[in-house]
Every structure is written in structure tokens, then in C-alpha cells.
Amino acid sequence: MIVVTLTARMQRHLYIKTGIISIAGIFLLFLPQIIPGSNYFLQILTTCFLYATLALSWNLLAYSGKISLGHAAFFGVGAYGSSLVALNFDINPLLSIWCGGCFAAILACTGGFLFSRLKGAYFALTTLALVEIPKMIIENWETLTRGSLGLLNIPPLRIASTIAQSYLPTYFINLGVLMLVFLFLTLIFSSRWGWAINALRQDEKVSFSLGINATFYHVTTMTVSGFIAGVCGAIYAHSVGIIEPSMVFSIHYSALPMVMSLFGGRSTIVGPIVGAFILFSIDQLAFQAILPIGHQILYGLAIMVTILYMPDGIMGLANREHLWHYSRQKK
Amino acid sequence: MALLKAEKITCILEERAVLNSVSFTLDEGEILGIIGPNGAGKTMLLNVISGFVRVSEGSIHFNRMEITHKPPYRLSRLGIKRTFQIPRPLKEQTVIENVLLAYVMAGRKLGKLNAVVEKVNSILEQVMLIDKRDILAADLTLSEQRRLELARTLAGNPRLLLLDEVGAGLSPAMITYIQDLLEKLNKSGVTIILVDHFLNLSVQLAHRVIALDNGKIIAEGLPQKVLDSPRVREAYLG
């Protein structure tokens, strides 16, 4: 895969992005040493990393022009896949989370093939229905998955020399996975593949005329997106310890990455991360205290404000080139 | 040698034959003009050749290979490049990025990056867009968008160029310029099909002209001869 960042504009974007995120990553890596002991903020950050990764996976698919309403399918399959592998074969959760990702990728690849011709709302509705298939199978395959009783005693993620009950291993693993996914996507977005899916989003017909194989790129994008979402689900399962179908296949995990990506700015790579950090922090630190039951109203508000006042999200506002572009159009 | 050979292509959309048993051949290095009144099937013929619309009957051969039901991206990789009647630039990308995309997706080895940029710059110079290099494609005028379409096809290393109304909406001076450019391209070995409603390019450029009306070929031959034929006059003037 050849990395193509030819114009000055793209090079600048790439340097700024990787620079900022690397610095932030290193800072976050040492943050637990600065804030000692069990800290509420670190726990929130841990979940932020997970949601940011999930939002990035949703955003990858959106970058290729397909809106998914069913990322919970991949999340849930990843969670169940990894838990079952870890429980039945006694494998270290650090390895089994990747197995979970692979199961989700298989589902995503199949879905990608079947839905590759669907566009827009039709694709979105189909993905919404896709969630039900693995959910039904898992609910009814009681000998393997214990059905709606769920799985218990899922082994927690552990790195050598850390205490089992601490959330710190999860903190580092989530951060690591987020950084890994971010760097991988940055690389992809500036490669031939990224160019192709970017063109597909903007104009499918033109993409054909340039020689872009739409089916191939849609299927691979969906597979990678599903894999990442699956890994997120797996990490979630191991950090919670108990899962049941209605929990991991809930619409929550389809809607959340979408809201976060839209709020932060889709079709940018930093956007979903920013969205996840801002929204989840506000949710946990402010709304949870004010409205203990209905605190998720925040996500509904966020999506309304985004669509009405900043269709390109926060990163769209921050991007000066875009502002300049719009002001010129208005004249 | 015939580069493109269309045999009895019929295309039925919504129970109407938009192309009715159209046959023609195109030699390597030729410029073919396709003229006809509105709704004659000119653009449909390009859509069929470039694979965007499937034919109901008949066959198309390119370079002695059957391409009748091949998807458009395959045909594009074979070197059949097209422009669109209404320009479709990728609006979120700058001019040079649009052309680079076409260059990268043509599937050749890229080699040194500086050389690629130089090549793309020279293409932009050819279509006089070098000043607009770093402007978003959405901000271009119609004339510039048409030239961007042309630049994109040039970047794709074409063997057969399908140009849909490439001269429409351009100033006379620009049309003369495009004419020279296409002539140069043709001399370098690119075969061209020109769809031309207003006849401003095909009369001067084309070696041969096909006149379409209601999806049928009504006249074929040298440009002036076709224009003078009573059936073509009747089709245009009603």
C-alpha cells in the first residue's frame, strides 16, 4: 500500500493530526502516575478511549459514504466471541479480544457483500436489522451461550505486574488500542485505499469512471470497521465481566458512535475522538449528577444541535479552510 | 485495426428503445463525432460503451475483447475514459487532488512522488488550470469544471476518450484551444469519441460523424456530408 500525501494541504493535515494525537497519547500514558490511586476521572477516561475507538470504527464506514445504524451487531459479536473463546479454551483475554474482532469482521464481511449495492437510507435500515441476526442466534443457542441468561465470570484483561481488580490494565489497553486504530486509520486515509473510499463517498459514478472497484472497497471498509468495533465489544466484555444479549446488542452501541462522530465531525479522523471525549465527559461529570435516570438525553440534544448549527461537527468549525470556504460561497 | 466494434446494440429503458440496433466500428487513432437532436441517444451510447448502462441486446468489443457486460471500473482500467455531460468534480477536493486521484487510480506504479506531481502539473497546464491548482473544485466556474473533467481523463492514461459535450458552455477562444489540445492528443495515439449537440467541435475535428435520431443511426460519413444530408437537417429542424 503506497502512502500518498502529495499536496501541501494533505501533508499539513497529516502532520498536525499525528503530532497532536501523539503528544496527547504520551500525556495520557503517564497520567495515572500523575493522578495516583483509584480515580474517578481515570475511569471516565478509560471508557472515553473505548467509545472513541468505537466512534472511529463507525466513522471509517461513514467516510466511505455508508451510514451504519447497526454497529451494535459487531460490538456484540466481538463481546460474545472473545468471551466464549476465553472461557472455553482458557486463552489470555489479551489474545482473545482479537479473536472477537475476527468474528465481528466475518459478520461485517458477509454483510458487506450482501449489502454492497444498497445506498443511503436503505443501507442504514438494513444494518439496523443486521443487529437482530446474531442477537437471535446467541439468545437461542443456549448450550453454547447460556441464552438470555448471559455469560458470567469473563476473565478480566490483565497486564503482568498489575493487580487483577484494578481498572488500570483496561486503561492502558484501551489507550493502546485507540492509538493503534488512530495511527492505522491515519495511514489508511492517506493511502490509495483512503482516496478510493473518499471518492466513493463524494460521487460513486465518478469513482467508477476513474477505475475504482466500489464493491471491493465497500466490503473491505466494512470488514475493517467491523473488526475494530468487535475488538471494542471484546474489551468491554472483559472489563465488565458479565454480558447478556440485550446488553451488548442494545441500540445504545449503534447510536453512541454515530452521535459522537457527527458531533465531533465526520469525514475527519480526529472528529470522532474529540466527540467521544467531550460528550462522554459531559454526560458522566455533569448530566449524570443532574439527571441520574435520563442523563442520556444529552446525546439526543447533541445530535440536534450538531445537525442544526454545525453540520460538519466541531472539527468542521475548527477547520479554518472550511470556514473560509463557506464564507466565500455565501458571497 | 478496429479498436472498438459495436454490433447491433439495443438498449431498452422503461419499454422504450433508447438505442435501437446501433452498429459501428472505430479504428485506432480515429476521431468519431456523434451528433443528433435532444434525446437522440448520444449520451446513452457513451453510457453503454463506458459500461454505465447495460445493453439489452448486441455486443461491444474493445481491442478484440468482449466488454459487453463488464462493470465500468474494469473498462476504465482498460483505458476507456469518459467525461460527464454535467461536470462532476469531487467538490470537497482541490483541483490538483481531483487530478491526482485519477492519476493514482489508473492503477500504474507511482514511482517517485515529485515526478507524479510534475506530471499532474503538466496536465493542469495543458487544460489551463494551473493557476487554480489549490482551489476547491466546488468553487470553479462551469468552463473550468469542464476542463477539470478533461484533465481527469487525461491523467487516467486513456486509450479511448469518450467526451460528452466537452465544448458546451465554453467561450469560442477556449473551444479553439480545446480543439488544438484534442488534435495533439489524437496525434499521440488516443482514439476519441465526441458527443456534440451544438456541432461546434465535431465539424472541425472529427474524421467521421454518426448522426443519431430516436436511438437509430440516420447518417454516417464525413462531417460535412452528414450535415448536408436531408434526414439530419430534418431531425434537427423538425
A119 touches B at CB < 8 Å: no
Would you say residue A266 has pLDDT above 60? yes
Tell me the residue type at A291.
L
> What is the nearest CA distance from B181 to chain A, expressed in angstroms?
21
Please tell me the total number of residues recorded for chain A in this structure.
331
Euclidean distance between CA atoms A321 and B51, whole angstroms: 37
A202 touches B at CB < 8 Å: yes
Q: Which of B91, B102, B105 comes nearest A202 by C-beta?
A: B91
ipTM: 0.85
A217-221, A260-264, B108-112, B130-134: lowest mean pLDDT where? B108-112
Residues 264-283 of A with CB under 8 A from B: 267
B77 touches A at CB < 8 Å: yes
Q: Which residue has the higher pLDDT, B162 or A159?
A: B162
A10 touches B at CB < 8 Å: yes
Average pLDDT, chain A: 83
Tell me the residue type at B146.
R
Interface test with A, best of B84, B97, B100, B101 (most A CBs within 10 A): B101
**A112-118 average pLDDT score:** 88
Q: Which residue of A has its CA nearest to B86?
A: A206
Full-model pTM: 0.87
Cell numbers representing residue B49 in the block: 460503451
Q: Which chain B positions have a beta carbon within 8 Å of A10's beta carbon?
A: 97
Cβ B82–A7 below 8 Å, yes or no?
no
Are the C-beta atoms of B182 and B196 separated by less than 8 Å? no
Euclidean distance between CA atoms B33 and B225, whole angstroms: 13
Interface test with B, best of A2, A117, A201, A209 (most B CBs within 10 A): A209
* pLDDT, tens only, A277-326: 888 888 888 777 777 777 778 888 888 888 888 877 777 776 645 444 44
Euclidean distance between CA atoms B205 and B224, whole angstroms: 11
pLDDT of residue A53: 93
| Full 3-state SS string of A180-214 | HHHHHHHHHHCEHHHHHHHHHHHCHHHHHHHCCCH
Euclidean distance between CA atoms A167 and A44, whole angstroms: 11
Would you say residue A330 has pLDDT above 50? no
pLDDT of residue A234: 92
Q: Which chain A positions have a beta carbon within 8 Å of B88's beta carbon?
A: 203, 205-206
> What is the nearest CA distance from A271 to chain B, expressed in angstroms?
17
Cβ A210–B84 below 8 Å, yes or no?
no
Cβ B106–A196 below 8 Å, yes or no?
no
Cell numbers representing residue B119 in the block: 506530471
Residues 110-129 of B with CB under 8 A from A: 110, 113, 116-117
Q: Which residue has the higher pLDDT, A1 or B79?
A: B79
Are the C-beta atoms of A277 and A175 separated by less than 8 Å? no
A156-160, A179-183, B148-152: lowest mean pLDDT where? A156-160
Would you say residue A3 has pLDDT above 80? no
Would you say residue B203 has pLDDT above 80? no
Interface test with B, best of A208, A210, A321 (most B CBs within 10 A): A210
Name which of B186, B184, B127, B170 is nearest B151 in CA terms.
Answer: B127
| Full 3-state SS string of chain B | CEEEEEEEEEEEECCEEEEEEEEEEEECCCEEEEECCCCCCHHHHHHHHCCCCCCCEEEEEECCEECCCCCHHHHHHHCEEECCCCCCCCCCCEHHHHHHHHHHHCCCCCCCHHHHHHHHHHHHHHCCCHHHCCCEHHHCCHHHHHHHHHHHHHHCCCCEEEEECCCCCCCHHHHHHHHHHHHHHHHCCCEEEEECCCCCCHHHHCCEEEEEECCEEEEEECHHHHHHCHHHHHHHHC
B130 touches A at CB < 8 Å: no
- Paired with B19 in beta bridges are B11
Indicate the domain borders of chain A.
Answer: 1-32+60-250, 251-331
Euclidean distance between CA atoms A200 and A211, whole angstroms: 11
Average pLDDT, chain B: 85
Q: Which chain B positions have a beta carbon within 8 Å of A2's beta carbon?
A: 110
A1 touches B at CB < 8 Å: no
Reduced to 3 states (helix: H, G, I; strand: E, B; else coil), residue A37 is coil
A6 touches B at CB < 8 Å: yes
CA contacts within 13 A on the Cβ side of A31 = 20
Would you say residue A232 has pLDDT above 80? yes
* pLDDT, tens only, B114-127: 778 888 888 888 88
pLDDT band, very low/low/confident/very high, at B7 (cuts 50, 70, 90)? confident
A3 touches B at CB < 8 Å: no
B94 touches A at CB < 8 Å: yes
